[in-house]
Amino acid sequence: MLAYVLRRAVYGVGVVLGVLLVLFVLFFSIATPDDIARRALGDKARESAIAQWKQNHGYDRPLLPIHQGEFRSDNLLFHHYATMLSFDFGASDFDAVPIGERLANGALPSLSLTMPLFVLEVAVAVVVALFVAVFRGTYIDRAGLVVSVLAMSVPIVLMIIGVQYLIAKTLAWFPLSGYDRSLELMSRFLWLPVAVGVISALGAEVRFLRTVFVEETSRDYVRTARAKGASVFAIRYCTPMIINTIGT
């Protein structure tokens, strides 16, 4: 057990170091330090201003430890690993706002949207999938299949734009955008994106869960229990408890 934990820990460290290296290569292959400085200062900035900006933000250091045949400990690659592994993300190159402060400010809006979206999506999908699975093979099941496939076929971006235009802009039932941290007004900004997220995910979730439920009702122990004359209550509640007890 200890060997397995150590092996997985070594694998995890290797993955983290590899991902950080890939991010470093992608970042500086797309934009050089001079490009970053020009984006912050403008295209008409002088070379002296660009050089001073790179020095102030630490971009005047070499990219790699080996620079012009010499080893340089003060390089951007080592700095990248040091800051990322210590969770010191520094400040923005454009407005000098600490990245950690931005993450902290965005945590509450993100969680207030994703948590109710996840709970409602799972709850509604389970209820609808159970309802469709009970009437499998009937017109209700086929209608659920058609509606689910249609919901899966509509791009979520198109759904967001359409709902925003109809509900928020035309009817003005909810705000078109924005966020308020007060509990009294927070829900008014969350109802619309939560509803769109739940509706857009129902198609795939219902189809998947319906398949799972139908397969479970066709298991050997369920067919055996039905052949023996067991009631629906016994099949749904007692049989799983007996199987779990025997398995343990």
Taking only the tens place, the pLDDT of each residue in 159-184 is: 888 888 888 878 778 887 777 777 77
In the chain, the percentage of residues whose pLDDT exceeds 70 is 92
Of the listed ranges 49-53, 80-84, 210-214, 241-245, the one predicted with least confidence: 241-245
How does 125-140 read in b/e, with b if 16+ C-beta sit within 10 Å?
A: beebbeebbeeeeeee
Q: Residue 244 carries which side chain, given as an amino acid letter? A: N
Residue 29's SS3 state is: helix
* Angstrom distance (rounded) from CA 186 to CA 15: 39
Per-residue pLDDT at 248 exceeds 50 = no
pLDDT band at 237 (very low <50, low <70, confident <90, very high): low
Predicted local distance difference test score (pLDDT) of residue 235: 60
Q: Which of the four pLDDT bands, split at 50, 70 and 90, describes residue 79?
A: confident
Give the model's pLDDT for residue 236.
57
Are 94 and 40 in contact by the 8 Å Cβ rule? The answer is: yes
CB 20 within 8 A of CB 12: no
Where is pLDDT greater, at 240 or 132?
132
Residue with tokens 């966020």: 179
168 and 176 in contact (C-beta within 8 Å)? yes
- Region 5-18: mean pLDDT is 88
pTM of the predicted protein model: 0.63
pLDDT at 241 over 60: no
Among 190, 21, 181, 173, CA closest to 116: 190
E strands of 63-185, at which residues? Answer: 66-67, 70-71
Residue 231's pLDDT is what? 66
**How far apart, in whole angstroms, are the C-alpha atoms of residue 27 and residue 19?**
12
Q: What is the helix, strand, coil percentage profile of the chain, to 5?
A: 75, 0, 25
Category of 219 on φ-ψ map: left (φ > 0), alpha (ψ -120 to 50) or beta: beta
Give me the amino acid identity at 45: A
pLDDT at 242: 44
* Lowest-pLDDT choice from 149-153, 172-176, 191-195, 224-228: 224-228
Does the pLDDT at position 99 exceed 70?
yes
pLDDT per position as a tens digit, 105-129: 888 888 888 898 899 988 998 888 8
Q: Let me know the angle formed at the C-alpha of 241 by 235 and 247, rounded to the nearest 5 degrees.
A: 120
List beta partners, residue 70.
67
Task: Give the 3-state DSSP-derived string for 193-238, with helices as H, strands as E and coil as C.
Answer: HHHHHHHHHHHHHHHHHHHHHHHHHCCHHHHHHHHCCCCHHHHHHH
